[in-house]
C-alpha cells in the first residue's frame, strides 16, 4: 500500500508536533504547500482508512500513576486462555504474543505501584505463572513516532 505523497509529508512533518494556534489546519496546509481543504481531505481519508490513529494531544498518563512491562512464559496449549484472561484486566492496555520462552507481553497501568503489585499477584494466583515485572527505569525515547523509510 503506497503512502500518498501529501500523506507522507503530513506524517513526517506533523507526527512529532503540530501548530497550536487558531486554525491550525490552515497553518499546516501552508507549510505543506497545499490548500486547507486538501489537507483536511487528506486527514479525513487517512482516518477513514484507519491510517490516522488520531490528531490532537497525546497525554502523559504516567504522570498520574504507575506502569510496568510484564511477561509470562505460558505453555503453548494454554496461551489462548491465559491471554484472554490477561486482556480482561482494565489495567492491561497492550497485550502481545511474542515468539520467545516468555511468549506473552503486556503493559500494566494503574494509579500507583501497590495497585500494580496487587494485579500482578492476582494474575499469578489465577494462572499459576510468575510474571516478569520490568518497570521502566529510564526513558531514552518514548513513542515520538519514527521516520518513514523511503518507499522501496
Partner 1 sequence: MSVCTSRSEQALALHLVTLTQAGLPLVDDPWAWLAEQLQLSVEATLALLKGLQADGAIRRIAAVPNHYRLGYRFNGMTVWDVDDAQMPRLGRLIGAQPFVSHCYRRPRNGSWPYNLFAMVHGRSATEIDSYREHLRYLLGDACRADEMLVSSRILKKTGVRLPSTALDQGA
- Structural element, H or E, at residue 68: strand 66-72
Distance CA 107, CA 27 (A): 37
Distance CA 31, CA 52 (A): 19
Find the shortest distance in angstroms from Cβ 105 to partner 1: 7
Q: Is 113 in the site for partner 1 (CB under 8 A)?
A: no
Do residues 106 and 92 lie in contact, with contact meaning Cβ atoms separated by under 8 Å? yes
Query: For residue 62, what is the DSSP state?
Result: G
Query: Number of residues in contact with partner 1, rule: CB under 8 A?
Result: 75
Please report, as residue ranges, which positions from 31 to 60 form the binding site for partner 1 (by CB under 8 A): 36, 40, 43-44, 46-47, 49-60
Please report, as residue ranges, which positions from 79 to 98 form the binding site for partner 1 (by CB under 8 A): 83-84, 86-87, 92-98
Find the shortest distance in angstroms from Cβ 72 to partner 1: 12
Q: Is 134 in the site for partner 1 (CB under 8 A)?
A: yes
**Residue found under cell 505460558:** 74
Find the shortest distance in angstroms from Cβ 114 to partner 1: 18
Amino acid at each position: 500500500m503506497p503512502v500518498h505523497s501529501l500523506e507522507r509529508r503530513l506524517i513526517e512533518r506533523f507526527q512529532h508536533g503540530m501548530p497550536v494556534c487558531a486554525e491550525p489546519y490552515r497553518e499546516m496546509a501552508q507549510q505543506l504547500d497545499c490548500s486547507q481543504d486538501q489537507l483536511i481531505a487528506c486527514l479525513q481519508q487517512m482516518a477513514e482508512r484507519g491510517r490516522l490513529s488520531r490528531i490532537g494531544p497525546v497525554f502523559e498518563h504516567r504522570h498520574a500513576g504507575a506502569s510496568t512491562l510484564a511477561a509470562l512464559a505460558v505453555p503453548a496449549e494454554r496461551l489462548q486462555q491465559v491471554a484472554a484472561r490477561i486482556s480482561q484486566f482494565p489495567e492491561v492496555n497492550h497485550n502481545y504474543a511474542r515468539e520467545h520462552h516468555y511468549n506473552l507481553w503486556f503493559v500494566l497501568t494503574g494509579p500507583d505501584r501497590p495497585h500494580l503489585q496487587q494485579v500482578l499477584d492476582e494474575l499469578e494466583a489465577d494462572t499459576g505463572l510468575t510474571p516478569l515485572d520490568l518497570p521502566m527505569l529510564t526513558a531514552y525515547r518514548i513513542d515520538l513516532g519514527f521516520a518513514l523509510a523511503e518507499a522501496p
